[in-house]
């Protein structure tokens, strides 16, 4: 593995702090100490454009920034703490003194995860890491074993999804900072919960982004939706690759995080002989060996390209798994009938059948939306490498009004979607609140301080949704009231909640898919345009799952060569269903009447 110099203010066990920053085009860089004393210290120029200063006896909490060429006062690009926000001084933090109690924790493999995505600010009224800690027992009761936290790198203000972060190394101060995050991870591990962190290595937000003033962190070789691309392969890219590589290792090692969800890796433009994704995967594998703990990399990819999750020795980049948007699109298209945007490629039962069988829907066929052939088959990849969902922050929050699936399609459809996801052979991910049928929206929100940027964001949202004739105004993302409307109601009881608990227990306890053998999951062709079925096989048990995506009753005659005994029905009155359910027992060759928008599970006897 390539050894890159580590940036930031890094404390040693002896109390010495090494300040290092990359500024290759600067003639002079000075370290400005603002508290507890005021000093101006000249930094030493090192090779490849780095500058450093070694300070013995450095106190934790020391405030500082850098002075570039005697003109520009700027915070540390690798700051661990920004107590005064994105424009204020940086602060030295000492992570070595934290008293970890998770020495016996060894992590979880991706195949064993049942993930719950949450946003720290809206997950609880407190909007902090301590707020998350207060709800960990509720997630355990539900059956969750992994939480996935949306980005927490320091962003402008206190209200943000986190994808506008501008200090990848700093933990958002209003959430509880570095200490609060360590307390959360330690508490989660004590309860047997893994922690995955969402990180953004494809762009930085606009406000407080001072990286270009230090060096060529960005390149105009490629265009991205956020402007210039991160410089992974242009001149002077080594320090940039090191900057993000060390950041990933910091979360996984120093903060004991179990895995990273990597935002939009398709925007990591890199033509190097060793792609940054492969280099990161190798570094994380080295960390696993050194620590004896399982670490997971989950890539978000807008490409049906299995190369990212194929081992390096087989020509891939070696990541463990990926978010699979097309599974969501297939369910959403069937249940809502929406055809705008990328949904024009979905909406038929055949799309859902493909998603159940392959995770990807498009594996080389023509896409109307993309106007080209799209995707490749993941036939050589394990099903347990794909994370699937019926909702997530993107698919809910990027809607104009932030509506959840239950608000768009109703309770029956929401139960059907939950069963399709949780009984599939893939790794399921719940979006906070869906388990009890939360109807409050999850909208896009910000709290920028730059008036020109605020205006631009407002106008951008209005233009984005100008074609949607809803009769409603586009919400103002800067509105604090909009943010408050997104805070969860929190219910740990009720029919929907109990149905989710039932499905999770069913997934874990009845015909569990303990391996990725091809015969452990059999998808049948659609009975007709609306009914799908698949079998879950384990050594001691076989289950048949029937899914009716139609809004009317449907007749089907399964032919498994055995009789059937019902163990789950989404329209049962216990789950607030309509009570008109499929038959409890079905003889060999018998016919089944499926209720509208229902999921029924039979034991194959």
For the chain, the residue count is 605
Catalytic annotation present for 434: no
Q: Which residues pair with residue 41 across a beta bridge?
A: 31
First and final C-alpha spacing in the chain: 54
For the chain, counts of helices (H) and of strands (E): 15, 31
- What span, in angstroms and rounded, lies between the C-alpha atoms of 349 and 338? 14
Number of other CB atoms surrounding residue 274 within 10 Å: 13
- What span, in angstroms and rounded, lies between the C-alpha atoms of 382 and 459? 44
* H-only helix segments in 472-554: 480-485, 495-509
> Are 177 and 136 in contact, with CB atoms under 8 Å apart?
no
Residue 203 phi/psi, 5° resolution? -165, 170
> Are 562 and 604 in contact, with CB atoms under 8 Å apart?
yes
Sequential DSSP letters for 59-82: PTT-EEEEEETTTEEE--TT-S--
- What span, in angstroms and rounded, lies between the C-alpha atoms of 411 and 405? 9
Name the strand (E) or helix (H) holding 133: helix 129-133
Distances from the Cα of 557 to the Cα of 145, 254, 414, 439, angstroms: 37, 56, 25, 36
Sequential DSSP letters for 539-598: TTEEEEEEEE-SSS-EEE---SSS-EEEEEETTSGGGT--S----SEE-TT--EEEPTTE
- The radius of gyration of the chain from alpha carbons, rounded to an integer in Å, stands at 25
Planar angle of CA 412, 417, 422, nearest 5 degrees: 125
* Strand order through the sheet with 50-55: 8-11, 17-22, 50-55, 44-45
Number of other CB atoms surrounding residue 595 within 10 Å: 24
Catalytic entry in 30, 258, 279, 300:
300
- What span, in angstroms and rounded, lies between the C-alpha atoms of 63 and 32? 9
Name the strand (E) or helix (H) holding 359: none
Number of other CB atoms surrounding residue 72 within 10 Å: 13
Name the strand (E) or helix (H) holding 185: helix 177-190
- What span, in angstroms and rounded, lies between the C-alpha atoms of 171 and 154? 6
Residue 268 phi/psi, 5° resolution? -85, 80
Catalytic entry in 76, 198, 263, 394:
263
Q: Closest Cα to residue 277, out of 254, 255, 306?
A: 306
Q: Closest Cα to residue 233, out of 212, 219, 249?
A: 219
> Are 284 and 317 in contact, with CB atoms under 8 Å apart?
no
Catalytic annotation present for 585: no
- What span, in angstroms and rounded, lies between the C-alpha atoms of 500 and 575? 9
Residue positions annotated with a catalytic role: 263, 300
């Amino acid at each position: 593995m390539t050894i890159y110099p580590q940036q930031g203010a890094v404390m040693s066990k002896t109390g010495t702090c090494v300040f290092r920053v990359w500024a290759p085009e600067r003639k002079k860089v000075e370290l400005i100490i603002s508290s507890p004393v005021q000093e101006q210290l000249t930094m030493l120029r090192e090779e490849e454009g780095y500058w450093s200063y070694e300070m013995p006896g450095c106190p934790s909490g020391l405030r500082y920034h850098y002075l570039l060429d005697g003109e520009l006062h700027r915070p540390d690009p690798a700051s661990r703490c920004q107590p005064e926000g994105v424009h204020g001084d940086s602060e030295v933090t000492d992570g070595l003194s934290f008293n970890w109690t998770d020495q016996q924790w060894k992590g979880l493999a991706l195949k064993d995860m049942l993930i719950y995505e949450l946003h720290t600010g809206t997950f609880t009224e407190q909007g902090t890491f301590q707020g998350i800690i207060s709800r960990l027992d509720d997630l355990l009761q539900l059956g969750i074993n992994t939480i996935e936290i949306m980005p927490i790198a320091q962003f402008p203000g206190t209200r943000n999804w986190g994808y506008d972060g501008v200090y990848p190394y700093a933990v958002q101060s209003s959430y509880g900072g570095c200490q609060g995050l360590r307390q959360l991870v330690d508490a989660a591990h004590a309860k047997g919960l893994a922690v995955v962190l969402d990180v953004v290595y494809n762009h930085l937000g606009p406000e407080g982004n001072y990286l270009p003033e230090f060096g060529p962190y960005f390149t105009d070789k490629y265009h991205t939706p956020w402007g210039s691309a991160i410089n992974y392969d242009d001149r002077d890219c080594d320090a940039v690759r090191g900057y993000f590589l060390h950041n990933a290792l910091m979360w996984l090692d120093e903060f004991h995080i179990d895995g990273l969800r990597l935002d939009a890796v398709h925007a990591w433009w890199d033509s190097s002989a060793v792609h940054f994704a492969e280099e990161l995967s190798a570094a994380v594998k080295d960390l696993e060996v050194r620590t004896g703990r399982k670490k997971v990399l989950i890539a978000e990819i807008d490409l049906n390209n299995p190369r990212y999750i194929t081992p390096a020795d087989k020509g891939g980049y070696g990541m463990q798994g990926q978010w699979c948007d097309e599974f969501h699109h297939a369910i959403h298209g069937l249940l809502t009938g929406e055809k705008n945007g990328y949904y024009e490629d979905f909406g038929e039962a055949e799309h859902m059948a493909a998603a159940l069988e392959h995770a990807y829907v498009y594996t080389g066929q023509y896409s109307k939306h993309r106007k080209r052939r799209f995707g490749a088959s993941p036939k050589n990849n394990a099903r347990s490498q794909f994370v699937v969902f019926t909702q997530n922050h993107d698919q809910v929050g990027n809607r104009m009004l932030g509506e959840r699936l239950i608000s768009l399609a109703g309770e029956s459809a929401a139960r059907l979607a939950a069963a399709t996801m949780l009984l599939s052979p893939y790794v399921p991910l719940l979006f906070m609140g869906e388990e009890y049928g939360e109807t409050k929206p999850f909208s896009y929100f910000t709290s920028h301080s730059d008036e020109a940027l605020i205006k631009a964001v407002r106008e951008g949202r209005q233009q984005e949704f100008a074609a949607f004739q809803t009769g409603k105004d586009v919400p103002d993302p800067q509105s604090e009231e909009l943010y408050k409307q997104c805070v969860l109601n929190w219910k740990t009881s009720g029919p929907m909640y109990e149905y989710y608990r039932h499905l999770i227990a069913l997934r874990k306890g009845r015909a569990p898919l303990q391996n990725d053998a091809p015969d452990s999951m059999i998808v049948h062709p659609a009975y007709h345009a609306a009914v799908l079925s698949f079998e879950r096989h384990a050594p001691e048990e076989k289950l048949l799952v029937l899914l009716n995506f139609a809004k009317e009753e449907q007749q089907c005659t399964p032919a498994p060569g055995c009789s059937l005994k019902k163990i789950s029905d989404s329209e049962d009155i216990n789950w607030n269903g309509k009570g008109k359910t499929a038959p409890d027992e079905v003889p060999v060759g018998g016919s089944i009447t499926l209720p509208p928008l229902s999921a029924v599970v039979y034991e194959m006897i």
